[in-house]
């Protein structure tokens, strides 16, 4: 009887031990400033969806006894986390054997199904050991550390270095369109950044070109190692080749149930390891874009002075709230139906936060909605900003007509370079007037080191109205029809050849030299201006050192040379 009892206890303990979830086959590989930790999940299929994983790091081998002394890198890693970003934003897709998995080294093989993947960004050089602990959905540990299975026995030699993306596909091997988009290696090409519109189901980046997977640093997400993708194409046009960069704004939601769109900004959250407890608005997506744009510019030897951004709908808001606020990086932005005053913020706490509540940026001081008010931004900044060319429909219920009118007024008053076109369309048909902006203001006209004329108060502008969609001309444009060439930007003189293709009679327009490289003027300096029409006069630089010639006369069908001199 005693032997039977002992046997029953042993069988029970054996069964309990076998049922305990456990990660296995752990490996840690260092590359380019990051360590890639992989393992086999505690369970496959549907059974694995209830598990999460926490990553630990230490300078000595990690055991169950000393786990409390190890550094928790982060928690909440989903099941089958080796799935390629963009293909598995929900539990169903993570279980689909047809979905691709990640590659963690250039030229490497995709990771096996039911693999876990966590990436740690190195902060200090040294030897490091890693362990993975299985948790429940509330991140409570439910497994033990087993050296050799869920904890590494050999140290990873780590160094601090700039993280590098992993090329998954080459542009020369990506389908029938590769001849039109493959990378030639030509240096000094312009770079155009295209920001996509709303796509709640997530997805990848561009379908053609070089395709990259990367793992973000803690500065770029609510935790370290969040994955992302982007693609680089080379487009051929009569005006010259250029590089096209496409990425994804969505992130993997901590719940694992969906993709989370970030408005090309970021989101409200309390990042893991944050020292504050109240949620703040973090510009994580903007930081990702900055890193990607800088990396692509350097790696592909693009012209850093000739970087532009564009996008429709949500991509228009992103090219406004992100690119327009970065004149040190972008020469021009072309938003198609943007919000110029952001009224919402994605939140990891659930849903979206609407305007009406004070929300602070990550510094804990700056108000988010004030920072996202680009009408105010344009008014407050008299220095050179990216040229702003955009369109919208009067009946657009998401990007309101009132904010478009206010943006025009702000840009005009601050003498920024811009053009605007509109129709009586909704959020869909309101995209059509962008063709008018593109006709007269193509991206190749603009570079950060190249001066150009900014126009204002053109006498042939259509009427915007008072902000009511029913007031004013139903279709029209501001600052349309202009052509310019032969800009002379010297210390003592600035001149340009001007014309307007839409002028049917003599017209007038204000002209302000922008992005001057040599023609720098102190405030209150008096200058002379003259036109080839015979018109001339004096003008005084304003408090910001801007020189504006009022009412420059342009006859129809003729070029006019305008000169400004000290």
- Whether 35 is covered by a domain: the verdict is yes
- Whether 298 is covered by a domain: the verdict is no
**Token pair of 374, please?**
């680009």
CATH number at residue 64: 2.60.40.10
Residue 149: domain span: 20-158
- Whether 307 is covered by a domain: the verdict is no
- Whether 116 is covered by a domain: the verdict is yes
The answer to whether the CB of 83 falls within 8 A of the CB of 202 is: no
- Strands in 386-525 per DSSP E: 387-393, 418-423, 452-456, 476-478, 482-489, 493-500, 507-514
State the pLDDT at residue 6: 39
| Per-residue model confidence as pLDDT tens digits over 375-422 | 999 999 999 999 999 999 999 989 999 999 999 999 999 999 999 999
Q: Choose among 443, 420, 423, 440: nearest CA to 431.
A: 423
- Whether 464 is covered by a domain: the verdict is no
- Whether 258 is covered by a domain: the verdict is no
Cα-based distances in Å from 193 to 206, 295, 432: 12, 13, 20
Count of CB atoms situated within 10 Å of the CB of 562: 23
The size of the chain, in residues, is 566
Rg, the chain, Cα only:
28
- Whether 144 is covered by a domain: the verdict is yes
pLDDT in tens, the chain (566 residues): 434 433 333 333 344 345 689 999 999 999 999 999 999 999 999 999 999 999 999 999 999 999 999 999 999 999 999 999 999 999 999 999 999 999 999 999 999 999 999 999 999 999 999 999 999 999 999 999 999 999 999 999 999 999 999 999 999 887 767 778 899 999 999 999 999 999 877 788 988 999 999 999 999 999 999 999 999 999 999 999 999 999 999 999 999 999 999 999 999 999 999 999 999 999 999 999 999 999 999 999 999 999 999 999 999 999 999 999 999 999 999 999 999 999 999 999 988 898 887 899 999 999 999 999 999 999 999 999 999 999 999 999 899 999 999 999 999 999 999 999 999 999 999 999 999 999 999 999 999 999 999 999 999 999 999 999 999 999 999 999 999 999 999 999 999 999 999 999 999 999 999 999 999 999 999 999 999 999 999 999 999 999 999 999 999 999 999 999 99
| Per-residue model confidence as pLDDT tens digits over 471-518 | 999 999 999 999 999 999 999 999 999 999 999 999 999 999 999 999
Per the structure, the count of domains in the chain is: 1
**Token pair of 183, please?**
């990378």
Total-model pTM: 0.94
- Whether 327 is covered by a domain: the verdict is no
């Amino acid at each position: 009887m005693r032997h039977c009892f002992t046997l029953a206890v042993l069988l029970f303990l054996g069964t309990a031990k076998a049922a305990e979830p456990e990660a296995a086959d752990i490996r840690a590989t260092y590359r380019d400033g990051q360590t890639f930790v992989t393992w086999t999940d505690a369970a496959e299929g549907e059974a694995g969806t209830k598990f999460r994983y926490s990553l630990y790091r230490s300078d000595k081998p990690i055991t169950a006894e000393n786990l409390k002394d190890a550094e928790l890198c982060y928690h909440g890693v989903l099941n089958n986390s080796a799935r390629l970003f963009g293909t598995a934003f929900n539990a169903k897709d993570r279980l689909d054997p047809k979905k691709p998995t990640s590659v963690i080294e250039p030229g490497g093989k995709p990771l096996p199904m039911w693999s876990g993947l966590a990436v740690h960004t190195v902060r200090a050089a040294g030897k490091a050991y890693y362990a993975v602990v299985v948790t429940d959905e509330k991140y409570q540990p439910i497994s033990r550390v087993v050296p050799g299975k869920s904890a590494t026995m050999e140290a990873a030699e780590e160094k601090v270095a700039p993280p590098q993306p992993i090329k998954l596909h080459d542009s020369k091997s990506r389908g029938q369109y590769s001849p039109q988009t493959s990378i030639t290696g030509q240096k000094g090409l312009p770079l155009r950044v295209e920001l996509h519109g709303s796509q709640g189901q997530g997805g990848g980046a561009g379908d053609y070109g070089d395709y990259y997977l990367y793992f973000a640093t803690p500065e770029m997400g609510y935790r370290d190692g969040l994955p992302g993708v982007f693609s680089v194409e080379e487009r051929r046009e009569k005006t010259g080749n250029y590089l096209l960069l496409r990425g994804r704004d969505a992130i993997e939601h901590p719940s694992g149930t969906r993709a989370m769109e970030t408005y090309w900004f970021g989101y409200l959250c309390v990042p893991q390891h944050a020292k504050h407890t109240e949620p703040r608005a973090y510009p994580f997506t903007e930081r990702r874009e900055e890193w990607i744009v800088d990396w692509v510019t350097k790696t592909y030897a693009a012209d850093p002075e000739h970087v532009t951004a564009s996008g429709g709908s949500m991509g228009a808001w992103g090219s406004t709230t992100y690119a327009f606020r970065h004149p040190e990086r972008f020469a021009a932005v072309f938003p198609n139906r943007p919000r110029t005053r952001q009224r919402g913020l994605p939140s990891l706490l659930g849903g979206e936060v609407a305007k009406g509540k004070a929300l602070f940026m990550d510094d804990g001081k700056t108000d988010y909605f004030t920072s996202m008010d680009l009408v105010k931004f344009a008014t407050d900044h008299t220095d050179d900003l990216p040229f702003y060319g955009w369109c919208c429909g009067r009946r657009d219920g998401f990007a309101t007509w009132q904010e478009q009118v206010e943006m025009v007024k702000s840009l005009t008053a601050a003498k920024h370079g811009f053009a605007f076109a509109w129709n009586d369309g909704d959020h869909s048909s309101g995209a059509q007037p962008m063709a008018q902006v593109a006709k007269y203001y193509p991206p190749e006209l603009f570079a950060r080191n190249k001066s150009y004329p900014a126009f204002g108060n053109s006498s042939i502008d259509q009427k915007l109205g008072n902000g009511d969609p029913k007031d004013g001309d139903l279709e029209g444009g501001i600052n349309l029809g202009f052509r310019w060439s032969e800009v002379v930007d010297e210390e003592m003189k600035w001149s340009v050849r001007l014309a307007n293709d839409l002028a049917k009679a003599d017209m007038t327009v204000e002209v302000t030299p922008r992005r001057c490289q040599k023609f720098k003027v102190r405030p209150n300096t008096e200058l002379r201006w003259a036109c080839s029409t015979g018109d001339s006069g004096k003008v005084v630089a304003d408090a910001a050192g801007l020189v504006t010639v009022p009412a420059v006369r342009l006859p129809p069908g003729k070029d006019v040379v305008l000169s400004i001199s000290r």
